[in-house]
């Protein structure tokens, strides 16, 4: 899984692959309310149920303004997406851990130092969700039994 920078001059790129939403934050990006609303809108459009894991590739020097961060926290609490953030930057890791301690997210939240670890955690959430959902009827059986 080789990441390529976004083609357009947007501060993020978002796509769905193998049951996981991938959100790449561009290096040096600044997220104000406008950008955060767009991210939230796109994630909601790509996952109406609000259960698909979101893997965030967090580049160094990304700035999220306070109002945008507050919006993200509110939306995540309401939707409950599992979120895993991948970053190799020690300062960013520290900020994310502080975020986790201060906001105490009510949704699954993890910070990983490798993309592979983040991917595995996100895929585990997909598998757990698949096991949690009831099986659908087969061979013309009525549902529920």
List the pLDDT tens digit at each of the 145 positions of the chain: 566 655 556 789 999 999 999 999 999 999 999 999 999 999 989 998 888 999 999 998 899 999 998 888 788 777 778 999 999 999 999 999 998 888 788 888 999 999 999 999 999 999 988 887 554 444 343 334 3
Query: What is the domain-level CATH number for residue 89?
Result: 3.30.750.24
* Residue 140 within any structural domain of the chain: no
Per the structure, the complete domain to which residue 29 belongs is given by 12-126
* Residue 120 within any structural domain of the chain: yes
Which ranges in 27-89 belong to alpha helices (H)?
A: 33-46, 66-79
- pTM listed for this prediction: 0.80
Q: Is 17 helix (H, G, I), strand (E, B) or coil?
A: strand
* Residue 91 within any structural domain of the chain: yes
* Residue 133 within any structural domain of the chain: no
Domain count, the chain: 1
* Residue 7 within any structural domain of the chain: no
């Amino acid at each position: 899984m080789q990441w390529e920078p976004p083609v357009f001059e947007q501060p993020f790129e978002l796509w769905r692959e193998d049951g996981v939403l991938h959100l790449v934050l561009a290096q040096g990006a600044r997220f104000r309310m406008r950008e955060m609303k767009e991210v939230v809108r796109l994630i909601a459009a790509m996952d109406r149920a609000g259960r698909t894991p979101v893997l965030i590739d967090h580049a160094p020097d990304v700035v999220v303004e306070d109002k945008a961060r507050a919006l993200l926290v509110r939306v995540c609490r309401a939707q409950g997406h599992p979120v895993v953030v991948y970053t190799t930057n020690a300062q960013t890791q520290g900020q994310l851990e502080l975020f986790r301690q201060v906001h105490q997210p009510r949704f699954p939240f993890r910070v990983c130092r490798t993309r592979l670890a983040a991917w595995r955690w996100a895929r585990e959430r997909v598998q757990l969700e698949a096991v949690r959902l009831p099986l659908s009827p087969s061979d013309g059986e009525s549902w529920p039994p």
